[in-house]
Amino acid sequence: MKKYNFNAGPSILPREVIENTAKQCLDFEGSGLSLMEMSHRAKNFQPVVDEAVALFKELLEIPEGYSVIFLGGGASLQFYMIPLNFLIKKAAYLNTGVWAKKAMKEAKLVGDVIELASSAEANYTYIPKDWTCPADVDYLHITTNNTIYGTEVRKEYDVNVPMIADMSSDIFSRPIDVSKYDAIYGGAQKNLAMAGVTFVIVKNDKLGLAPREIPTMLDYRTHVEKGSMFNTPPVVPIYCALETLRWLKANGGVAAMDKIARERGEIVYGEIDRNKLFRGTVAEEDRSLMNICFVMKDEYKELEKEFFDFATERGMVGLKGHRSVGGFRASCYNAMSIEGCNALVQCMKDFEAKH
C-alpha cells in the first residue's frame, strides 16, 4: 500500500533526493568509494559544500555579507550559540511554544532576556500580536513555525531591530527577506534533509561584537572562516541537503513551494472546517501551512483512536498529534504532494460517512 508520510520530523523528503543520496552512499560519483567512507577534505567533496552554499544563497536570495554554514548539534545547540555570539546587552524573545521557551532558557545563561509576549496561557494556540519591540535590544528572536502547535508567522515582522529566527520547520517553504535578520537557523530534518546537520545563515559584520570569550567550536567565526570544515562535518546529511536544494531549484524554488503550501492548506483546513467530526486547534489567522493540527470535536472525542487506526490502515503515517496538544497533526512539508493531502481528506470524508 502507498504510504503518505505526515511525520513532523524527521519527515518526508522527495523520493529522488532519497534515491540519489542512497546511490552516492554506494559509490560516490564513480570514485569507487562510498560517501560514508571518504574524507570530507577529499577534492570531490568540497564541491558538494560549495554548491549547497551557492544554492542556499540563490534560492533564498541571500544578500551580500551573509555566510551559510553547516554544523552539528541541531537547532537545540543554536539556542545557546545564538546568544553567545549575538547578545551584547539584552535580547527580546517571542514565546510561541516549547522551542521558543528552550531558546529563551539558554539565552538567559548568557545575558538579559525580555519575554516580549507569550501565548503560554492558551497552550500556544495563537501567535501573540499585542507587543512592541524595544529599540534597545540586540535582536528579536522568533520561531517562525511552531512545529508542535501548528502556528506560523508566515511573514516578516516590521520591527526596528534585527531579527534572529528559528526556521527549522518552514525554511524554503516561502520567500523570506533575509536582510531583516542577523541570523536564521534550523535543524535540517524537517524540510531540508535527513537528520544530522544544522544550517545557519549569519550576517558577517555582526560576528565578533559580543563582549565575551567564546569557545572555539561555538564561535560562528570558526566555521565561517573554515567553510564548515573546521572539524569533520556530517557529510551524508550535507549531501542529502544538496540534493533537496537541487530539487527545490528544479521545482520552481521558494515561490513555487509557497504556492503549493497554500494549496495544501486550503485542501486540508478546508476539510477540517467542513467535516462535522473535526475542528482545528489554533487561531485561524495563525494556522501553519507546515503542521496542520486538528482534533475530534468534543461530542466525537471517543472516536479519536478509531480515526487514527482508520487512517493508518489507509496508508497515513505519523498523524498522531504531539502529546502536549493531542489529536492529530498532518505535517505537510515541501515534499508532501497534493495527492497526499487529497488522500487524507478522502480518509476524513469516509470516516465521517461511517459515523
**Catalytic residue IDs:** 99, 166, 190
Three-class SS of residue 306?
helix
Kindly indicate which of the ranges 26-34, 41-49, 71-79, 155-163 contains the residues binding ligand PLP, using the contact rule CB under 6 A: 71-79
- Interface residue with ligand PLP among 99, 149, 172, 199 (CB under 6 A) is 99
Among residue numbers 7 through 66, which ones bind ligand PLP (CB under 6 A)? Answer: 9
Kindly state whether residue 143 participates in binding ligand PLP, applying the rule CB under 6 A.
Answer: yes
Kindly state whether residue 331 participates in binding ligand PLP, applying the rule CB under 6 A.
Answer: no
Long-range Cβ contact pairs of 285-289 (< 8 A, separation 24 or more): 286/126, 286/127, 286/151, 286/152, 286/153, 287/150, 287/151, 287/152, 288/145, 288/146, 288/150, 288/151, 288/152, 288/170, 289/152, 289/154, 289/170, 289/173, 289/261, 289/262, 289/264, 289/265, 289/332
- Rounded to whole angstroms, how far apart are CA atoms 317 and 55? 31
Peptide bond into 211 cis (omega under 30): no
Kindly state whether residue 76 participates in binding ligand PLP, applying the rule CB under 6 A.
Answer: yes
Residue 166 or 271 with smaller CB distance to ligand PLP:
166
Kindly state whether residue 168 participates in binding ligand PLP, applying the rule CB under 6 A.
Answer: yes
- Rounded to whole angstroms, how far apart are CA atoms 77 and 81? 6
Kindly state whether residue 142 participates in binding ligand PLP, applying the rule CB under 6 A.
Answer: no
Among residue numbers 176 through 235, which ones bind ligand PLP (CB under 6 A)? Answer: 187, 190
DSSP string over 122-162: GTT-S--------TTSS-EEEESEETTTTEE--S----SS-
Residue 7 or 337 with smaller CB distance to ligand PLP:
7
Residue 147 or 173 with smaller CB distance to ligand PLP:
147
Kindly indicate which of the ranges 15-23, 44-52, 73-81, 342-350 contains the residues binding ligand PLP, using the contact rule CB under 6 A: 73-81
- Interface residue with ligand PLP among 74, 233, 321, 340 (CB under 6 A) is 74
Kindly state whether residue 169 participates in binding ligand PLP, applying the rule CB under 6 A.
Answer: yes
Kindly state whether residue 173 participates in binding ligand PLP, applying the rule CB under 6 A.
Answer: no
Residue 97 or 340 with smaller CB distance to ligand PLP:
97
- Rounded to whole angstroms, how far apart are CA atoms 186 and 195? 11
Residue 67 or 288 with smaller CB distance to ligand PLP:
288
Shortest spacing between CB 71 and ligand PLP, in angstroms: 10
Size of residue set near ligand PLP by CB under 6 A: 12
Kindly indicate which of the ranges 163-171, 204-212, 242-250, 322-330 contains the residues binding ligand PLP, using the contact rule CB under 6 A: 163-171
Kindly state whether residue 281 participates in binding ligand PLP, applying the rule CB under 6 A.
Answer: no
Q: Which of 9, 338, 351, 1 is nearest to 170 (CA)?
A: 9
- Rounded to whole angstroms, how far apart are CA atoms 103 and 83? 9
Residue 24 or 228 with smaller CB distance to ligand PLP:
228
Residue 44 or 76 with smaller CB distance to ligand PLP:
76
Kindly state whether residue 166 participates in binding ligand PLP, applying the rule CB under 6 A.
Answer: yes
Q: Which of 319, 63, 342, 33 is nearest to 176 (CA)?
A: 63
Shortest spacing between CB 168 and ligand PLP, in angstroms: 4
- Rounded to whole angstroms, how far apart are CA atoms 131 and 128? 7
- Rounded to whole angstroms, how far apart are CA atoms 279 and 273? 6
- Rounded to whole angstroms, how far apart are CA atoms 230 and 226? 5
Kindly state whether residue 119 participates in binding ligand PLP, applying the rule CB under 6 A.
Answer: no
CA dihedral 346, 349, 353, 355 (to 10 degrees): 120
Shortest spacing between CB 34 and ligand PLP, in angstroms: 25
Q: Which of 111, 170, 175, 109 is nearest to 142 (CA)?
A: 170
Shortest spacing between CB 354 and ligand PLP, in angstroms: 34
Residues interacting with ligand PLP, by CB under 6 A? 9, 74-76, 99, 143, 147, 166, 168-169, 187, 190
